[in-house]
Structure 1
Amino acid sequence: MGLIQLLFLTTLWLVAVKARLNSRQPSGYIPSRIVGGSDVPVGESVPYQVSMQYSTRGGYTHFCGGSIIAPDRILTAAHCCEGLNASRMSVVAGIRNLDERGGQRSQVVSYAIHPNYKELETSDIAVLTIQPPLVFNNVSVGLIAFNDKQFVGGGVPVSLTGWGLRLPVPFPFFDNVNYPNTLQRMSYHTISNDLCRASGMDSVTETEICARGPFRGACSGDSGGPLVRNDNGEIKQVGVVSYGLVVCGLFVSPDVYTRVSTFSDWLQERVDA
């Protein structure tokens, strides 16, 4: 590693001294996105992925991600919902680009936040109820498996999708690079919770799962989105994007996800309600 690169990384690390949520909240959070990802190829779909959007005077604005767990239920992060007006929230399914018109838009009727939720501590998970229900075609719109109770440890290959910043921080005058409309995908590996805590995420509990990779990771705007693994050909959701450090995508900085297996019974209750 060259001296200039080392100094740059050191500067970023010194800036990244506090945790940040990974959402682009309508109340004014700085928008940012997946670092180190690449465009989902043309003609390929991520059928369980949705964009959560907020109605403003200028139209709909993407601010979080989510995943489809039933025709009328969306899994996301609690901090993507808390304090927001459900009547101004909607989700869009079946799109690759945020400016596409061919997707399905449904209104958020209500949301349920886990009763144990504490910001940056635990249970950052929520379920949206939407209307009308989504129409599945098993190509561009479909379910993600969420009720596997297997505990995922370290060293497991996982992937993340979302509409996010490609860079660790948003650079001025480079909006076309910072904020692509195309769905991004990035792969890396989980790490053990012990290693996650030793890497600066002191408050991580067994209700969370961590992952990291060189110059890649989640960022604001990706919150609520699905972390998935391939289990013998079946795609299963293992995490929900929760939080990380201020500067995204540093190898020394793990991403923290809500561990879906911990909440599978609660999620099933919300689906059956």
Structure 2
Amino acid sequence: MAVVLVLAGLLGVAPPAQAIYNGTILSPNKYPWAVRIQLVYPDGAVATCSGALISSYAVVTAAHCLHYNGGTPRTADVTFHYGSHPGQFTVPVPVSQGGLIVHPGFNESLLRDDVGVLHLAHPVAEAPIPLATVNPPANTSVVLAGYGCLGDPFLSHQSCPLGLPASLAAMSARVVASGSCSSITGEWSFCTFSRAKSANHGDSGGPVLRTENGVLKLVGIISAYEDPPAAKYLDLSTSIPYESSWIRATHSGV
């Protein structure tokens, strides 16, 4: 089985993150519900992840971002329109007051239920992204977006060039049969492939998008990529349709 590498960006452990490898830089208002998440852990580690606003006060991201090294962050901040001014703004998450919720079934080794929800300290005016109701079929196209590293994830010395992420980046990928990603062990995940593009560290929790009935919806969140001997570039995403009941149960408004 190929090695699975989760995609949180750990600042202070690795160089700062930038953007999806070979992705397209988006205008600040293209996806106003897309967010950059910064988490500070008790041991001083700082993680950068991506996420999506799903209600006026709730953001969905990857569970492994919220559970680093078996611990939970002591602070979490969510930034909208990261890198743009004057529209950029940051909202804290009241971690000590239950603002951080990890799926109880999360299992990092299986990439099972790799989903978490952050409750913002106050509602925001940005329109949320609606949740998809069906998984993307094989051979259809989806869009992955995030604030992760710019370099090739297969080349560790090039993975994260210098400089903090300045803009959201996106890429298109083709959904492939789950057997293409040998690390997928259940219906909670799906697999995508691109010949020259990939999610990278810092893209964890970033939105995976597909148009459903004419409406752009959140169909997944970026979870991991498979390292060799898997073929370049296979990315694993957590299924939003599979997890939607739990996500809705964490709060009202979705």
Q: TM-score, normalised by structure 1?
A: 0.77
Matched ranges for 1:115-194 at <5 A: 115-121=104-110, 122-134=112-124, 136=125, 141-146=126-131, 148-168=132-152, 169=155, 171=157, 175-176=161-162, 180-194=165-179
Aligned mates of 1:38, 1:171 — CA distance in 2? 22
Aligned mates of 2:91, 2:183 — CA distance in 1? 38
Deviation at 1:48?
1.5
- Unmatched 5+ residue regions in structure 2? none
Deviation at 1:226?
0.6
Aligned mates of 1:180, 1:104 — CA distance in 2? 15
1:226 aligns with 207
Give % identity: 23
Aligned mates of 2:39, 2:193 — CA distance in 1? 29
Letter aligned with residue 207 of structure 1: W
- Unmatched 5+ residue regions in structure 1? 1-15
CA gap of 1:262–1:206, structure 2 versus 1, over 3 A, is: same
SS of 1:89's equivalent in the other structure is strand
Larger helix percent: 1
SS of 2:244's equivalent in the other structure is helix
1:11 aligns with none
Aligned mates of 1:205, 1:30 — CA distance in 2? 33
Deviation at 1:230?
1.7
> Is the CA contact (8 Å cut-off) linking 1:86 and 1:108 kept in structure 2?
no
Cα deviation 1:113-137 (Å, max 9, x = unaligned): 1111100311100011111221x2x
Count of aligned pairs between the two proteins: 239
Aligned mates of 1:106, 1:44 — CA distance in 2? 18
Q: TM-score, normalised by structure 2?
A: 0.82
> Is the CA contact (8 Å cut-off) linking 1:238 and 1:259 kept in structure 2?
yes
CA gap of 1:119–1:29, structure 2 versus 1, over 3 A, is: farther
- Report whether the alignment pairs 1:22 with 2:11: no
1:88 aligns with 75
SS of 2:9's equivalent in the other structure is coil
Aligned mates of 1:30, 1:180 — CA distance in 2? 11
- Could you list the runs of 4 or more consecutive aligned residues of structure 1 that deviate by over 4 angstroms after TM superposition? 29-33, 83-87
> Is the CA contact (8 Å cut-off) linking 2:221 and 2:238 kept in structure 1?
yes
Deviation at 1:175?
2.9
SS of 1:90's equivalent in the other structure is strand
